[in-house]
Amino acid sequence: MGQPEQHAGERTGSSRDRLPPGQRLQRGWPVTHYGPVPRYRAERWEFRIFGATADGEKHCWTHEEFSRLPYETVVADLHCVTKFSMLDVEWGGVPARTLLRMVPPAENVTHVMVWAEYGYSANLRLADFADGKTIFATHRSGELLTAEHGFPVRLVVPHLYAWKGPKWVRGVEYMTADRRGFWEERGYHNIGEVSGEQRYSYQEEPGEGPEL
């Protein structure tokens, strides 16, 4: 798989000063995921937004259509719940805010469920999804994502732990009430804020998630 990449920001002491509680600076980009890497089939790939949309309709894009959506870049960190952090990574793709403008949610939507291959899911508060740095990434540092890192699309939500940003994303469901996603049903924190070290469900305060 070659030598791990090194980022300029990782070579300075000031980077370590920026690490959130409990995290360590990572050199390179480890491959971490549950289950096998899915096989991409362009003719079957579809990105959809559904659920409580403002117009009540489901909206779909082929991979070619999704690739033509407005492309932006953000520089943002990636923090894994396993305690490694990558700082100042350039992500390119479609901001979540762009999709929210294109397909507005109904007024009573409070959360979204992000769906990925094999039925994997991660729930997010609407405010987290709408954050200015939340992006459906197709590129990293100007290069297309590899299959192991989520090609063709992965979600990046920098202020939440990385399990909240699934690889191999296939759609977004607008929800009027919260539901736990894949890892949230299996003991991980329902919100997952990095700054508060919200790693596990036993840390949840009343009102931070549906009952397990």
**61-84 residue pLDDT tens:** 999 999 999 999 999 999 999 998
Neighbours of 200 (CB within 10 A): 12
Specify the higher pLDDT residue, 32 or 72. 72
How high is the pLDDT of residue 152? 97
Residue 35 to residue 104: CA distance in whole angstroms = 33
pLDDT at 175: 98
pLDDT at residue 18, as a whole number: 83
The stretch 27-34 carries a mean pLDDT of: 71
What residue spans of 23-150 are helical by DSSP H? Answer: 63-67, 96-102, 126-129
Helix (H, G, I), strand (E, B) or coil at 92: strand
Q: pLDDT category, 14, cuts 50, 70, 90?
A: low
Provide the pLDDT for residue 26: 78
User: What percent of the chain is modeled with pLDDT above 70?
Assistant: 90
- List Cα–Cα distances, 136 to 51, 55, 72, 116, 208, in angstroms: 19, 23, 10, 12, 25
Q: In what order do the strands lie in the sheet with 121-125?
A: 59-62, 46-51, 169-175, 111-116, 121-125
Contact of 190 with 210, CB cutoff 8 Å: yes
Binned at pLDDT 50, 70 and 90, residue 6 comes out as: very low
Which pLDDT does position 97 carry in this prediction?
98
- Give the range among 26-35, 158-167, 177-186 with minimum mean pLDDT: 26-35
Mean predicted lDDT score pLDDT of the chain: 91
For 160-182, the pLDDT digits (tens) are: 999 999 999 999 999 999 999 99
d(CA 106, CA 100): 11
Sequence-distant (≥ 6) Cβ neighbours of residue 76 within 8 angstroms: 88, 89, 91, 133, 135, 156, 158
